[in-house]
Amino acid sequence: MQSIGERLEEARKRKGISLREAAEATKIRSDFLGYFEQNKFDYDLPDLYKRGFLKNYARYLKLDPEKLVTDYNALQLSNSRATKRGAAELFGQIEIKKSEGATAANEAESEDVGYGHISSRPTSTSEETDEADKGEDNEKVFYLKIGLVFAGTLALVFVVFGLIKAILSSSGDEPEIAELREPSAITEPADSSVAAINGDDITLLASGTVYVLVKQQEDNEILYRDTMSEGETVSLSKSGPVDILFTAGENIQIEHAGERMRPSSSGTAKITLP
């Protein structure tokens, strides 16, 4: 059966990539990937990160990450047991056994024999199992934190989009209703290039950047919705009253029924034309 390192190295070579390319793709240091392929897992790094890096590398190479991590845990547990077993065999336990049922003569001879024999017993492996379970719990907590951060970010994005939609939508809280100034109050000269319009037409003239939404009241049809740039002119044909929502009243002029007017207030507001 192939080792963990042999499986990783074989899969990487099948993809025809180097360790450096794999490191750039997975954002894992190339020396860590090299340790994995050489079956060297005793380098200085918390075991939790080793499992996480091993999973990511396995996914990148199209291998089963859970199977590799399971084999890694078994390997670490086996190494830990072997280390503890070697220590137990080195020190062992001294047990003294006294002879039983000896005759009076044998008891006299056995007085000189009082040291017994040495027997070795392997220590319990419950500590290794607890350490493995603790490592799994830490890994679960790590991924749980990542999930919470992702969920919080997603919720924040939805809130931002909701605020933008609330600002641009004409439903819900209505913006301030602005009045139109009389033509005499307009300080900028009229644009002679704008053609004459009839009573059902309106012309929007931008003196700066402004977002404009024009909606027909009788059927809620959107006649215009876009951002206008300085010097841009838009002519629209309407049927009946219309609502005009804008974000910068100081940057827009409205020509209707032969008169050019501008909103009396700056900033975001809404006006209605008959």
Which own/partner contact pairs does 92-101 have at CB distance under 8 Å and 24+ positions apart? 92/118, 92/119, 92/120, 92/121, 93/118, 93/119, 93/120, 93/121, 94/118, 95/119
Q: What is the average per-residue pLDDT within 141-157?
A: 86
Domain for residue 175, yes or no? no
- What is the predicted pLDDT for the residue at 94? 39
Final residue of a domain: which of 113, 143, 168?
A: 168
CATH of the domain at 128: 1.10.260.40
* pLDDT at 222 (0 to 100): 94
pLDDT > 70? residue 180:
no
10 lies in some domain: yes
Judge if 143 and 89 occupy the same domain.
Answer: yes
Q: What is the mean pLDDT of residues 178-188?
A: 45
User: Does residue 70 carry a pLDDT above 50?
Assistant: yes
pLDDT of residue 41: 87
Token readout for 40 is 């060297």
68: containing domain: 1-94+122-168
Pair (77, 187) in one structural domain: no
Q: What is the pLDDT of residue 136?
A: 67
Q: Is residue 100 part of a domain?
A: no
- pLDDT above 60 (res 266): yes
> Within a domain: residue 111?
no
Average pLDDT of span 229-238: 93
Query: Do 189 and 164 reside in the same domain of the chain?
Result: no
Instruction: Return the minimum-mean-pLDDT range out of 48-52, 71-75, 226-230, 263-267.
Output: 263-267
Same domain? For 59 and 148 the reply is yes
Predicted confidence at residue 80, as pLDDT, reads 79
Distance separating alpha carbons of residues 79 and 215, to the nearest angstrom: 74
| Structural domain total, the chain | 2
> What is the pLDDT at residue 79?
81
Examine residue 99 and state whether it is found in any structural domain, yes or no: no
- The per-residue pLDDT of the chain, averaged, comes to 76
Residue that is last in its domain, among 168, 197, 224: 168
How much is the pLDDT for 259? 87
Q: Is the pLDDT of residue 229 over 70?
A: yes
